[in-house]
Amino acid sequence: MKAQKAHFITSAVNSEGFPSESYAEFAFAGRSNVGKSTLINTLVGVPKLARASNTPGRTRLLNWFEITPQKGSPVNFVDLPGFGYARVPREMRDAWRPMVEAYLTQRKTLRMVFVLIDARRGAQKEEEELLDWLEEVEIPACIVMTKSDKLGKSKRKPRAVEIQRQLGLAQPPILSSSESKDGLSDMWRIIFSLASE
C-alpha cells in the first residue's frame, strides 16, 4: 500500500503544541528503537517521512503526519517518543509519561494506539504497564510485534501465541517487518475500518 500523499504536520511537547483535531488519528507507541518511525515509513511507503535511526531515543517529541491513502479519507499518524532508553537524561525520562498520557487522554480523534513490541525481546514491565493503563482509560490498543524478520520463520507464530498468552490478549499480535512487509496489510485493514466509523 502506498499513500497518495504524506506530509509532516508538526511536532509538540505539550497540549499547547498539538495541532487541531482533524482526521481519525492513530498513534504508535513503544520502547525506544522498537521501530515506530520505521513502521510509519513502511506503512506509508515513504522512506524518510518519520526520522528513523540507529540511535535510540531519537524521537523525543510527538510528531504528526497526515496521510492521504489512495482510497478513503485522510488519517493522521502520530509517532510518539520512545520509552525505556537508559541514556536519555533523567528529566526527559520523567517527562515521557505526562507528555504521552496527556496526548492519549485528550485527543478526541484518537482511534487506536499501536503498541509495538520487539518480536525478539517480548513484552516487559513497561509494555505491560502501558497496556494496563490503556485498558483502564479505555483507549483501544493493538499489539504489533516488530522486526519479525529477525526471528526464524518457524519461530514467528509460536512467539506471537506466547506473547498473546503473556498479555492475556483475545487475539495474537500482528507480526510486522519493514524488511518483508509482513503485517502491513493487516494494519491498514484496521486503520481503514476505524477511520471510516
With a CB cutoff of 8 Å and minimum separation 6, the contacts of 166 are 122, 123
Rounded distance between C-alpha atoms, residue 43 and residue 89, angstroms: 31
Give me the least distance between CB of 45 and Mg ion, in Å please.
Answer: 17
Q: Is 156 in the site for ligand GTP (CB under 6 A)?
A: no
Give me the least distance between CB of 122 and ligand GTP, in Å please.
Answer: 15
Residues 169-188 that bind ligand GTP (CB under 6 A): 177-179
Q: Give CA separation, 14 vs 32, 92, 105, 161, 193, in Å.
A: 19, 13, 12, 37, 29
Contact assessment for residue 12 and residue 61, using Cβ atoms and an 8 Å cutoff:
yes
Give me the least distance between CB of 26 and ligand GTP, in Å please.
Answer: 15
Q: Is 119 in the site for ligand GTP (CB under 6 A)?
A: no
Q: By C-alpha distance, which of 19, 184, 79 is closest to 192?
A: 184
Count the alpha carbons within 13 Å of 96 in the hemisphere toward its beta carbon: 22
Residues 26-65 that bind Mg ion (CB under 5 A): 36-37, 59
Residue number, 63 or 148, with CB nearest to Mg ion: 63
Residue number, 35 or 69, with CB nearest to ligand GTP: 35
Q: By C-alpha distance, which of 100, 94, 93 is closest to 115?
A: 100
Among 16, 20, 48, 54, binds ligand GTP (CB under 6 A): 54
Nearest 5°: phi and psi at 129? -65, -40
Residue number, 24 or 40, with CB nearest to Mg ion: 40
Residue number, 36 or 159, with CB nearest to ligand GTP: 36
Q: Interface with ligand GTP by CB under 6 A: which range of 5-13, 49-57, 132-140, 163-171?
A: 49-57
Task: State the angle between helix axes of 184-195 and 36-44 in degrees (0 to 180), rounded to the nearest 10.
Answer: 80
- Contact residues toward ligand GTP (CB under 6 A) are 30, 32-38, 52-54, 56-59, 82, 146-147, 149-150, 177-179
